[in-house]
Amino acid sequence: MRDVVIAVEAVLQRRGDSMYFGETVTQKEHALQCAWLAGRERAEDALIVAALLHDVGHLLSGETEDAADRGVDALHEDAGQRWLSQFFGAEVTEPVRLHVDAKRYLCATDRSYYASLSVASRQSLRLQGGPFHLSQLSAFAEQPFAMNAVRLRRWDDRAKTPGLPVPELDHYL
C-alpha cells in the first residue's frame, strides 16, 4: 500500500502542474476534481481511485501538451491501465482503460453529450476514432466495468473548473 502512495504522489508532483490539454486547469486539478465528483455521487472507493488516476498515462509519458494539436493519439488510457495494474485490480484499471471508449460510446448514444464536450475534447475524439458505429456499441457495453467507465467519463468531462475548491491529494493518499 505504501508503494502506491509513494508512486502516485511522485507522479502527480512531477507532472501534475502541467496544463490539462486545451483546458484551463492543471492535470492535478483535473484529477482532484474528477475524484471529488465521483465521491459526491457516492461512487465506490475503487471508482474514486480510478477517477483520480484516469489520466495518469498522460503524466507517465514524455508527451507534450500539444499532442492532440499535432495529430498524435498517445493512447494514454492503455499506458495508465498498465501502470495502475502494478497496484490495483480490474475494478480500478478497467474504467481507466475504457474511459476513452466511453466517450466514443456516449457520443453515439446521447445526443446532448457531444454538444457538451469542450473544443479540445472534440478535437481528441477525432484522433480516438470518432463516435462508435452502431455495430460497436454492444461490444463496448458488454465488457465488465464499461458502465463504470461511462460514469467516470461524465465526471472527467466536468472536472475542468478553474479554481474550484476540492479536497487535496492527501485526502486520497
Q: Is 156 in the site for Fe ion (CB under 5 A)?
A: yes
Q: 10 Å Cβ neighbour count for 156?
A: 24
42 residue type, one letter: R
Task: Determine the interface stretch with Fe ion among 43-51, 116-124, 133-141, 149-157 (rule: CB under 5 A).
Answer: 149-157
- Shorter beta-carbon distance to Fe ion: residue 55 or 94: 55
Of the candidates 55, 63, 77, 94, which one interacts with Fe ion according to CB under 5 A?
55
- Shorter beta-carbon distance to Fe ion: residue 6 or 72: 72
**How do the residues of the chain divide into helix, strand and coil, expressed in percent and rounded to 5?**
65, 0, 35
| Position with the least CB separation from Fe ion | 156
Phi-psi region of 72 (alpha: psi -120 to 50; beta: other; left: phi over 0): beta
Using CB under 5 A, which residues numbered 73 to 102 contact Fe ion? none
Q: How far is the CB of 113 from Fe ion (least distance, A)?
A: 15
Q: How far is the CB of 162 from Fe ion (least distance, A)?
A: 15
- Alpha-carbon distance values, 141 to 83, 86, 108 (Å): 24, 26, 12
- Shorter beta-carbon distance to Fe ion: residue 68 or 135: 68
Quick one: cell of 5?
A: 502512495
Indicate the SS3 state at residue 129: coil
Q: How far is the CB of 4 from Fe ion (least distance, A)?
A: 20
Contact residues for Fe ion, defined by CB under 5 A: 55, 156
